[in-house]
Structure 1
Amino acid sequence: MRMDQVGVVVRSLDAAADGMRAVFGLEPHTRVENTYRRTEYRGTEIDATVGVLLYDLGGVELEFLAPRTEGNVWADHLAEKGEGMHHLRFAVDSHATTAADLRERGVETYQQGESMRGGGVRYAYYDTVSQLGFLIETLNPGGTP
């Protein structure tokens, strides 16, 4: 398992881009609107749309997320905590093995589904806020279930 991303929830991608430009002089390498279809949110299937800005910070990706719909992991964060750090993401070999291990440790899955990358790549957010103060996200970049 290797940490590869820090996620931050914001209201405005434009404001986040302006801030990154002013503080670091950086431009995003990606700006997209993603709709995660048939993703699982707290046990219910939903479609969730989020605006995304991505920056490469020396091998760790900085991701800004602006929710466009309600009732998902990003909108919950914005409603409950406001803008700020949302998650640390870890690349894992097996999505299923990691989920089972965390479940054994008492960590529940918050939201999960197929990544926009396709090819069997899945993402999952785990509710570790009470233990860590933020969520953990996992991604299986090799597509291993």
Structure 2
Amino acid sequence: MAESLLGNRNINQLAFVVKDIEAANIAFTRLLGIKKAEPFLTGDSSVSKVTFRGVPTESQSKLAFLNTPTVQFELIEPDKNPGTMREFLDEVGEGIHHIAFDVDSIQKRLPIMEKNGYPALQTGEFTSSDGRYVYVDTLDDHKTLVELLESAEPRVTAWERPEDDSIQPLLGTNKVEQLAFVVKDLDAASDAYCKLLGVEKPPIIHSGSSDITNVIYKGKPTEGKSKYMFINTPFIQIELIEPGESPST
């Protein structure tokens, strides 16, 4: 098995860019039945030292970290200054902005990513654990950005059970098991993920016939044909989906 480009296969954070962090915080807390996070504002440029596409920027964001038993959720409400989160919100809208890996050394791992065609998009520093980060532009291949995190001290990601026993997850569990991406080319996307993670390529799975799958889309039966691939990592499974021509979500 090849080594991961980042030195490990631990996707430990899913990050969402949002317009209203307070509303998103409440929604995710209610869905997952977890302790509510306290949003905070990132430091100014003298502290965060943010660069976006190689140019210093005054970009600041409100952040909230929601810990679950499997993976951490990060909510990001960016300000109006140039930055990858602002760009994402303006051009794409709310949604998953990046997945994150804790790495041993950005200085060591970033050149490997760049050599493989993934340049640095935004860099910065944070004081909570004497750390730094870099977003690399993996959007075309991985359908999301990848963040490299380096900290002098371990980041706090442990799940804390709510003190109020009446707070329960709406789905009966708060274990987030899977992150799914819809792709145009399943082979290309799976090759990219397997190379990033240093894992063997799993088999492609084809959806069954409609009399078995019984797919309903917007109240109407549909074949819902798709091809799938499931890539397992220590904390969360990556599902890649290449849909067919029949109507489906």
Pair 25,59 (structure 1): closer, same or farther in 2 beyond 3 Å: closer
Say if 1:36 and 1:113, in contact at 8 Å, map to a contact too. no
1:7 is aligned, of 15, 25, 47, to 15
**What letter corresponds to residue 93 of structure 2 in structure 1?**
G
1:130 equivalent in structure 2: 140
Map 1:1-145 onto structure 2 (within 5 A): 1=8, 2-37=10-45, 38-117=49-128, 119=130, 121-142=131-152
Higher relative contact order (CA 8 A, sep 6+): 1
Structure 1 alignment gaps of length 5 or more: none
User: What percent of counterpart residues are identical?
Assistant: 24
- CA deviations on 1:43-99 (whole Å, 9 max, x unpaired) are 101121101111101152100000013310110110111000010000000111111
| Number of residue equivalences | 142
Q: What RMSD in Å do the two structures reach over aligned CA positions?
A: 1.6
Distance between the aligned counterparts of 2:120 and 2:99, measured in 1? Answer: 15
SS of structure 1 residue aligned to 2:104: coil
The structure with the largest strand share of the pair is 1
Q: TM-score, normalization: structure 1?
A: 0.89
Q: TM-score, normalization: structure 2?
A: 0.54
Distance between the aligned counterparts of 1:3 and 1:74, measured in 2? Answer: 19
Distance between the aligned counterparts of 2:129 and 2:56, measured in 1? Answer: 18
**What letter corresponds to residue 140 of structure 1 in structure 2?**
E
**What letter corresponds to residue 7 of structure 1 in structure 2?**
A
**What letter corresponds to residue 116 of structure 1 in structure 2?**
T
Structure 2 alignment gaps of length 5 or more: 1-7, 154-249
Dislocated runs of 4+, deviation >6 Å: none
Distance between the aligned counterparts of 2:34 and 2:70, measured in 1? Answer: 15
